[in-house]
Structure 1
Amino acid sequence: MLDNIRSALFLPASNPRAIEKARGLACDLVILDLEDAVADADKDSARTAAVTAADGTWGERLLAVRLNGRGPWHDADLAALAGLSAIDLIVVPKVETPEYAEALAGRLARPLLAMIETPSGIYAARDIAGVAGVVGLLAGSNDLTSALRLPGGRAGLTLALQSIVLAARAAGIAAFDGVFNRLDDPQALEVDCIAGRAMGFDGKSLIHPNQIDVANAVFGPSAEELEEARALIAAATGGAERFRGRMIEAMDVDAARHALRRAGLA
């Protein structure tokens, strides 16, 4: 379901112009946000807007809603979203226990993206990833940075982020990198995306449409990678063998096929 997600754009469900614009954007996943991006006074109207928007046309991109965590609006969000089949995914903030994920998966009856945003969530990530109904983990890097009392940047988050990737891979589900906060620095965004891809993330969560093209370019296989993948698959005959000056084996063929699938070519 999430094999081809390179870019996941958060936008406030309280902003009707942003919702309409998002229907034509090049992101792979739109996340209508009921949580951090929405002021308290707008929570109820944002919830109604998200449900209404789910009935619209979203083309090839997937549609998700991020509900509010435990607190004043949590139960109302659950009631509104439960069984809403027009939504592809539900994004759940601050998941810290597998029991919480299990309870929401059973009640919502939709695939869940569990946000790992706290030290407790990091320690429980492996068990959370193994819950039936959880199809991906999403790094909440801003909250992790705050909770860990870090000065900023990726360096201090390395262990936490790698733990999210490891948990997702152990469970066979997707892993998405956290947001990049600077909106006017595409070069720094590219560096951040490259670091995330090198760490093993499948895609990037975003907070502005102008970040989409960079994320798609970095997390999508390049023309060179696709040519390499096709050539490797064609050359492989089984077992360990030489290919373009290096040794390859079955896992390299699997990786090549995965690259083609991400590009919609297999």
Structure 2
Amino acid sequence: MLKSTSPYELGATLYMPVLKKDALEYIAGRKLPKLRSMVLCLEDALLETDVLVGMDTLEKTLIRIGQVKEETEDKRFPLVFVRPRNLGMAKRIAEMAGIHNIDGFVAPKVRPGDYEKWVSAVRDTDLYIMPTLETTEVFDVGAMTALRDEFLANAPDRILALRVGGNDLMSCLGLRRVGKSSLYEGPLFYTISMLMGIMKSKGFDLTSPVYEIIEDGSTGEQVEQTWLREEVTKDVAFGFVGKTIIHPSQIDVVQNAFKVTRGDYESARKILAVDAPAVFKFGGSMCEPATHRTWAQRIMSRANVYGIVGEDETKAAYP
């Protein structure tokens, strides 16, 4: 049986090479205790010559994760996913000892026709799959519609969220992010809007691409986080449930953006009340439970995970 996990629990997702020597320190929550999810990567972060040692390291890590969890009570651990190089590698990993100690797979470069094969690869596990949308097919509305229908027809509950691979999509266009700009001012704006319409309208959540600018190219100093903060604020408003990060300094910026304002919380609570009127005014806006119920439920989910802006973080379910 699949674990019951809210996609909002993903928060800021940190990718980490499987060969990183202190990876278990992050998994155990001893480093970056605010980290909510991480991906052990055997794809881009691993040289072809290191695949065998990477697989051996992963299996030892999977077993050790179980031991760490047994040794530590009443502690929140980050969600842990594995990103294999390909489907064949995923099948081998799914048979490893300790595989039940993680939460799922990040499936790279998923195209129409691929997802059913991923479901088959993990059929004997209780793991989630997070397909990554990062190929030229993502720009094709027809291809994405076909992929969505494939998701719907093959264990849709396996999908915790869809990951949008921003850098790979930019590479398809021969571009990369430069300067102080957000995702929403660039050429991917149409694409993410289209994905939201096609995927989210059928219940599939999405996570936002990484903001890869962390240092000033001329000075090497860490850049001010204003542009990241602006982008993740738009991510939340757009409907994304998490964001890939590449540096620990991005964790607080991303996860603070998912906190709920007191006004939105109270509005959601009133909309979900059993005795709510069919239409009423609150906070200067019209509230209509029949129309706004899903929004209100999502607000409550965010509040449960991240808390309310300006209030004690310990009131959240996962401080």
CA distance change for structure 1 residues 100 and 33 in 2, over 3 Å: closer, same or farther? Answer: same
CA distance change for structure 1 residues 253 and 108 in 2, over 3 Å: closer, same or farther? Answer: closer
Q: Which has the larger radius of gyration?
A: 2
Partner of residue 259, structure 1: 299
Q: State yes or no: 1:147 paired with 2:155.
A: no
Aligned residues of 1:176 and 1:205 also touching (Cα < 8 A): yes
Which letter maps to 1:194? T
- What is the TM-score with the length of structure 1 in the denominator? 0.86
Which letter maps to 1:102? E
Aligned residues of 2:136 and 2:172 also touching (Cα < 8 A): yes
Q: Deviations over 1:34-84 (max 9, x none)?
A: 111223332222222233323314634211101113xxxx52343123473
Q: 1:118 aligns with which of 112, 135, 142?
A: 135
Partner of residue 16, structure 1: 21
Partner of residue 30, structure 1: 38
Q: State yes or no: 1:105 paired with 2:119.
A: yes
Q: Distance in 2 between matches of 1:254 and 1:76?
A: 38
Three-state SS of the structure 2 residue aligned to 1:135 is coil
Q: Distance in 2 between matches of 1:175 and 1:118?
A: 16
CA distance change for structure 1 residues 88 and 230 in 2, over 3 Å: closer, same or farther? Answer: same
- Alpha-carbon deviation of 1:181? 0.7
Which letter maps to 1:116? L
- Alpha-carbon deviation of 1:258? 1.9
Runs of 5+ unmatched residues, structure 1: none
Q: State yes or no: 1:63 paired with 2:80.
A: yes
Q: Distance in 1 between matches of 2:80 and 2:255?
A: 17
CA distance change for structure 1 residues 79 and 151 in 2, over 3 Å: closer, same or farther? Answer: closer
CA RMSD of aligned residues (A): 2.5
Partner of residue 221, structure 1: 260
Partner of residue 89, structure 1: 104
CA distance change for structure 1 residues 26 and 224 in 2, over 3 Å: closer, same or farther? Answer: farther
Aligned residues of 1:101 and 1:134 also touching (Cα < 8 A): no
- Alpha-carbon deviation of 1:209? 1.7
Three-state SS of the structure 1 residue aligned to 2:40 is strand
- What is the TM-score with the length of structure 2 in the denominator? 0.73
Which letter maps to 1:137? L
Partner of residue 2, structure 1: 6
User: Percentage identity across aligned positions?
Assistant: 24
Aligned residues of 1:136 and 1:176 also touching (Cα < 8 A): yes
Aligned residues of 2:163 and 2:208 also touching (Cα < 8 A): yes
Partner of residue 135, structure 1: 160
Q: Distance in 1 between matches of 2:23 and 2:35?
A: 13
Q: 1:158 aligns with which of 179, 184, 189?
A: 189
- Alpha-carbon deviation of 1:177? 0.4
Which letter maps to 1:95? V
Q: Distance in 2 between matches of 1:263 and 1:29?
A: 18
CA distance change for structure 1 residues 63 and 122 in 2, over 3 Å: closer, same or farther? Answer: farther
Three-state SS of the structure 1 residue aligned to 2:160 is strand
Paired residues in the alignment total: 261
- Alpha-carbon deviation of 1:102? 0.6
Runs of 4+ aligned residues of structure 1 deviating over 3 Å after TM superposition are 57-60, 222-225, 227-236
CA distance change for structure 1 residues 41 and 236 in 2, over 3 Å: closer, same or farther? Answer: farther
Q: Distance in 1 between matches of 2:202 and 2:293?
A: 21
Q: Distance in 2 between matches of 1:91 and 1:52?
A: 19
Q: State yes or no: 1:78 paired with 2:85.
A: no
Which letter maps to 1:107? A
- Alpha-carbon deviation of 1:257? 2.8
Q: Distance in 2 between matches of 1:237 and 1:156?
A: 42
Runs of 5+ unmatched residues, structure 2: 70-75, 215-221, 305-315
Which letter maps to 2:129? L
